[in-house]
Amino acid sequence: MPTKKLDKNEIMLVQIDQHPQFSYDPYPVSQSGQQLDLTQSKVVLEPERETLFFEKISPQLREHARAWISYACHIYSNYALFSQQHCWRLLKIPDDTVAEDIAEKIQEIYRELLSSERSPSTKSALRILYKWCVEEGLPHFDEDFYDYYLASIKFGTAEGKGLDVIMEIPDRGPLTIKEERIFISTLNSVLPETLTTHELQGLVSLKCAQVLGMRNIQVMRLKFSDLQISDKGVHTLKVLRAKQRGRTNNNVYKIRPITKTLAKLISSMKSRYEDILGTKITDDWPVISEYYSLRDELVKQQVKITKITYITNQFRMAVGLDFKVTNRRLRKTFCSRLIAKGTPMTVVAELMDHSDLQQLDVYYRQSHNVAKKLDDILRSQAIDIIDVFAGKVVTPDYASQRGQGIFAPSKNLNLVKIGSCGSTTPCSLQPPLSCYNCSSLEAFEDVDHKEVVDTMVEEIKEVFGDAHAINILQHKDFLAARKFADMFDRGEL
């Protein structure tokens, strides 16, 4: 019997009856050209005659599965849809599971399945399903569980592709050292009054993520009344808890101290709204309010989550950043920096609103790996610090100033004379490290500068430990010293 064709008005009526967090076409057309009726308890895929049984999926996940099939039937074959339905059926949630425990139960099932002897293909399919639900913002699927756990594990795939091969996900992880330096420099130079309203909203959103590690939903829920200043002049922000835990706890807030810069930005956002309206606004307005630029119309309502992506992109393009910057990436950067500074895991968990410390393990592993490969990172990140050495390379006999030798520790000798200072004015720097980034340095050509710099790096690691050294060795003087040493070693100076 042919499937009934519905017009757009009928499809819209069906969509209105869906759960408010789900929005999908209940009558999609599959790759084989068949119109599927996802309102039924089962769907027979033609021409294979394979059947999708939605009633065999846990009731809490049936709408998730229908939404997935509506999306995936355009992309995957019928055989793939049939296999994916079996993955949904593996997520067996007990009927008596209360709503606030469903997310944790799904995570528990995932941990068990991905550590089992099931095929790599099944595990990869399960990970794809979870990722999609996260990106669609569907209930019970947590983006941090995906980012900090699912996306980090490696179990191999039968096809030899996917996350298990390409573990570096472009534009998804923390900002690189170079990206973070450019981003901070850009924030310091931008003038908020020159930005459009959407661009200013994007700046406020990104600044919240940079300073506090806030997620999109936390920024969306901010109101101007959440900004406070104490008698001692300390600015604080009342922030919605990132990880909500059940209906009774979905309005838990934390008071977080913030920088004066962020406080000023939020206040400037309020002033911008008042300029648009031509009148004062109350403190119960959302900080990121709905704004329609074509009509220059401002509405007192919370924006949709997709709008956060739009406004942050508007800011990024306005200031000329050629890499992706999102609240999600800045939240990961915030967490990574805490780990790199040696912050205890329990403190990081509290700041990130994590109850499951296992989700933070990947950051501690990441910090350890960065420390192991620190020299390579310094070399690559130093490229944009100095393009040309500003000093001179000379023999000891050609030093311009007598008695101004510069000494540094070396691996085989306690001290080695690396060069001479050609300046006639008192030095305000911190020799010998800062000398490599100084135009007055007359570096001696018979010195193994690479060994000198390597010794300084090792001393920093030994004194401060790998975690602290990661931040210390990102200083421009260390990067410049590394760049000089590499250029000198290659005979480019």
Q: Give 223's DSSP letter.
A: B
Q: What is the pLDDT of residues 326-355, one digit of tens each?
A: 998 898 888 877 776 667 777 777 777 766
Domain C-terminal end among 323, 355, 387: 355
Residue range of the domain that includes 422: 378-489
Closest CA to 99 of 305, 251, 217, 248: 248
Residue 300: inside a domain, yes or no? yes
> What element of type H or E holds 275?
helix 260-277
Same domain, 153 and 201: no
Kindly give the residue spans of alpha helices, DSSP state H, lying in 4-101.
8-16, 62-72, 78-90
Q: What is the pLDDT of residues 67-117, one digit of tens each?
A: 999 988 888 888 788 888 999 999 999 988 888 889 989 999 998 898 888
Q: Which residues pair with 257 in a beta bridge?
A: 236
> What element of type H or E holds 488?
helix 476-489
Same domain, 196 and 140: no
Check whether 238 has a pLDDT greater than 70: yes
Residue 79: inside a domain, yes or no? yes
Residue 415: pLDDT band with limits 50, 70, 90: confident
The answer to whether residues 182 and 333 touch, using CB atoms and an 8 Å cutoff, is no
Tokens of 430: 């911190």
Residue 111: inside a domain, yes or no? yes
Total domains in the chain come to: 3
User: What pTM value is reported for the model?
Assistant: 0.52
Same domain, 186 and 330: yes
